[in-house]
Amino acid sequence: MLKKTYKRINSCEEASHFGFLLIEIVVVLGIISIILSIGLISQRDFSERITLENNAQEIELIIYQAKAFALGVRRSPFPNNSFNVGYGVHFRENDQEYIFYSFIWNEDKYEDEDEMGKWWDILYGGGGEYEILSTFSIDDNNFINSISCDGNGLKEGETLSVTFRRPRPDATIIRNIPGIPSGFEECDNSLVTISSVNFSKTFNIRSKGGLVSFE
């Protein structure tokens, strides 16, 4: 009788110990799953941030490229090989592209502000003496989320142009207002924000010196 009782107790201990091992395994697997999930999320966020940073730096480089072209000895691609040429970058909100362009600046033809405004209207309305040098795409579903001109956000249909013209190092920052004679406004500073799914990056373009800095 004593022996049977001993065996019965021993069997219960073994069953209890076996059940405890299963619980331990489940807990450990759960912890491993959580750690792996955190690692995957962190890796995804890291990749997203790096892509956003690269896109922002690419835009910065293109702006400085426009400045270098304008200040350097580079002829216009237009007829007559004129040196009286500007280079710039054109931005539009909610877009995954931006444009690097050049154009002839004809002071004899556009002597006053009113005429200059009409010229800007022609230029950004699809005509005029300009050439698109490159259209750049923003990678991995990043896009230009918002643009402001001296603290005021752009309205629907408005765009922003940052232009350099030799021999001045300053940028001419223009808020283009479509459909209005003299439809442009010059800015001292502009904030451009590009965004990904979870993150954003804002850079400040200053007219003075044509400098770009990240916020």
Query: What is the per-residue pLDDT for 167?
Result: 75
Query: CA-to-CA distance for 159 and 155, rounded, in angstroms?
Result: 9
- pLDDT at position 186 over 80: yes
Strands (E), 66-188: 85-92, 97-104, 130-137, 143-149, 152-153, 159-165, 172-176, 184-187
Query: What is the per-residue pLDDT for 200?
Result: 94
How many domains are contained in the chain? Answer: 1
Residue 34 within a domain: no
> How many percent of the chain have pLDDT more than 90?
36
Query: What is the per-residue pLDDT for 129?
Result: 65
Residue 43 within a domain: no
Residue 209 within a domain: yes
Residue 44 within a domain: no
Residue 22 within a domain: no
Instruction: Render pLDDT for 118-130 as a digit per residue (tens, 0 to 9).
Output: 444 444 444 446 7
Query: What is the per-residue pLDDT for 109?
Result: 45
Residue 6 within a domain: no
Region 47-60 average pLDDT: 92
Query: CA-to-CA distance for 43 and 23, rounded, in angstroms?
Result: 30
Of 53, 64, 96, which is closest to residue 214 (Cα–Cα)? 53
> What three-state secondary structure class fits 17?
helix
Residue 27 within a domain: no
Q: Are 191 and 147 in contact (CB under 8 A)?
A: yes
- Which residue range is the domain that position 167 belongs to? 54-214
Tokens 């931005």 locate to 91
Instruction: Render pLDDT for 122-165 as a digit per residue (tens, 0 to 9).
Output: 444 444 467 888 999 998 889 999 999 999 999 888 999 998 98
Q: At 195, is the pLDDT very low, low, confident or very high (cuts 50, 70, 90)?
A: very high
Query: What is the per-residue pLDDT for 26?
Result: 77
Residue 110 within a domain: yes
Identity of the residue numbered 72: G
Of 13-22, 107-116, 186-195, 200-209, give the lowest mean pLDDT range.
Answer: 107-116
The order of strands in the sheet holding 130-137 is 130-137, 97-104, 85-92, 159-165, 172-176, 184-187
Token couple for 143: 């896009």
The order of strands in the sheet holding 189-195 is 152-153, 143-149, 189-195, 200-206, 211-214
Tokens 């022609």 locate to 122
Average pLDDT value for the chain: 77
> In whole angstroms, what separates CA 60 from the centre of its chain?
9
